Amino acid sequence: MRTDAAFYIDGQWQDRPEAPRLAVVNPVTAQVMGEVAAGSAADVDLAVAAARRAFETFSLSSVDERIALLTRILALMEERAEAFAQAISTEMGAAIAFSRASQVPFGIAHVRAQIEVLRDYAFLYRQGGTAIAKEPIGVCALITPWNWPLYQLTAKVAPAIAAGCTVVLKPSELSPYSALLFAQVMHDAGTPPGVFNLVGGTGEVVGAALASHPDVDMISITGSTRAGVLVAQAAAVTVKRVVQELGGKSPNVFLDDADFENGVAKGVLAGMRNVGQSCSAPTRMLVPESRLAEVEALAAKAVAGIKVGDPQDDQTTMGPIANAPQFRRVQEMIAAGIEEGARLVCGGLGRPEGIEQGFFVRPTVFSRVTPQMRVAQEEIFGPVLVIMPYRDEAHAIALANDTIYGLGAHLQSADLERARRVAGRIRAGQVHINYPPWNAHAPFGGYKRSGNGREYGEYGLEEYLETKAIVGY
């Protein structure tokens, strides 16, 4: 069994043999495969103090120096991509092919994007007799989730470093191994001591200590809406900046002129990508009433092509749910859909046929779902898609917006002008028209209870900057 009982603080690994241990569970077998140290408020104090000291000099570093550091980080991540892919597949069950094709490359892309932004970003510019200066905000606490463990980490660390900030990272204790690999990358890249620090542990202890810490200037969290609320409440006392990327229940609106033959299959796979464990997954498919039976058949056909199994098998397209609490949550919500009268198109309760252990679930599609049903309103975070019929375009828009969330949305139409018009009516931070390629520079974040602030590219960088007006410049 693997034991990792060290934190990265002030430029070095610091052993914590006396710290309590947190079990790391293999989602394939549901057995404990390792342990990590659980940090304390005292560990947070040490890391924050190191970051505060380092900020005095790193905040004055030049853009060229920060580009050089990020370039070294980028090169090491590319060199160690397979190690990251294996770690992610092991710790949270991502199919190794998906880990190699998406989890790791997209995480690396955030570092590359910040290098590109830095090359042209104006940290000082004039408006008449006033100069506008953009300056690093200070010490940043970063709380990252288990579902995209590297991707969400670099989406925060890279812009913080690009801005000239120093950071204390708390990765999810449920998927810690990729974060430990990243800390070693930061060390080997020659990151100045104190600029990057990692303290593992629980949200209740380490996360709470970071959120309330008087020497932390900003906190960025990706997680559940409940966790985001708790962090914001704790941070309010010290009036620090809070950036939240939280839950979602994203619609995928098929207008009546869409390409249903190809689009439905793509929509099913988009909703179930990463075993459905993505906050922006388009898990509500909204379709014209007249096309409902056709869509049900197309969705069932798409699910039939998904291969659930051992994530280390190159042919597997869907591994297990990442952890036991989430496995129980998905089963609870599938049961709720059945009990509330949704039509079960495919999937259902329990593990797939032939799989007797682990957190594997059956890819599930419900149809004829109404807005009042739990499966229509609550974030499930598993491979569960709901199909909802609509009467006309106005009804489709109303259904799309009938949620407490507003993180992402998808829209399918052969008429681009029509699609643009409808996209403008959807209350979400990011709308995808006809399945465009992912863009590391497109701002990402939510309306309503999906959070505050934006990540990725230039918009992500600016969350880590203060604005100063120098009048009479």
In this prediction, residue 321 carries a pLDDT of 98
Q: What are φ and ψ of residue 90, in 5° steps?
A: -75, -45
Strands (E), 289-412: 343-348, 362-367, 384-390, 405-406, 408-412
445 found inside a domain: no
In this prediction, residue 268 carries a pLDDT of 98
In this prediction, residue 265 carries a pLDDT of 98
In this prediction, residue 74 carries a pLDDT of 98
120 found inside a domain: yes
In this prediction, residue 365 carries a pLDDT of 99
Statement to judge: residues 242 and 256 lie in one domain: no
Statement to judge: residues 239 and 294 lie in one domain: no
Statement to judge: residues 238 and 256 lie in one domain: no
Number of domains in the chain: 2
Selecting among 91, 165, 173, 279, the annotated active-site residue is: 279
Statement to judge: residues 234 and 358 lie in one domain: no
Statement to judge: residues 56 and 178 lie in one domain: yes
432 found inside a domain: yes
Task: Give the CATH number of the domain where residue 201 resides.
Answer: 3.40.605.10
Tokens of 415: 């008429």
Statement to judge: residues 316 and 372 lie in one domain: yes
What averages of pLDDT result for each successive group of 10 residues across the chain (473 residues)?
Answer: 95 97 98 98 98 98 98 98 98 98 98 98 97 98 98 98 98 98 98 98 98 98 96 97 98 98 98 98 98 98 98 98 98 98 98 97 98 98 98 98 98 98 98 98 98 98 98 97
Per the annotation, the verdict on 296 as an active-site residue is no
Which residues lie below 8 Å from residue 456, measured CB to CB, with a gap of 6+?
110, 113, 155, 439, 440, 441, 442, 443, 444
123 found inside a domain: yes
Tell me which residue has tokens 């975070």.
381
Q: What are φ and ψ of residue 202, in 5° steps?
A: -90, 160
In this prediction, residue 400 carries a pLDDT of 98
Beta-strand pair 2-4/31-37: parallel
C-alpha 361/C-alpha 30 separation (Å) is 13
421 found inside a domain: yes
Task: Give the CATH number of the domain where residue 405 resides.
Answer: 3.40.309.10
Per the annotation, the verdict on 279 as an active-site residue is yes
320 found inside a domain: yes
Statement to judge: residues 92 and 192 lie in one domain: yes
Statement to judge: residues 465 and 417 lie in one domain: no
- Residue 218's nearest CA partner among 301, 157, 273, 302 is 157
DSSP 182-245: HHHHHHHTTPPTTTEEE----IIIIIHHHHH-TT--EEEEES-HHHHHHHHHHHHTTT-EEEEE
444 found inside a domain: no
Q: In what order do the strands lie in the sheet with 130-136?
A: 124-127, 130-136, 465-471
Statement to judge: residues 204 and 332 lie in one domain: no
In this prediction, residue 197 carries a pLDDT of 98
Q: What is the pTM of this model?
A: 0.97
In this prediction, residue 458 carries a pLDDT of 98
Selecting among 140, 165, 173, 245, the annotated active-site residue is: 245
Statement to judge: residues 216 and 257 lie in one domain: no
Strands (E), 349-415: 362-367, 384-390, 405-406, 408-412
Statement to judge: residues 40 and 163 lie in one domain: yes
C-alpha 204/C-alpha 125 separation (Å) is 42
In this prediction, residue 1 carries a pLDDT of 85
**What domain range includes position 291?**
251-439
Statement to judge: residues 8 and 96 lie in one domain: yes
220 found inside a domain: yes
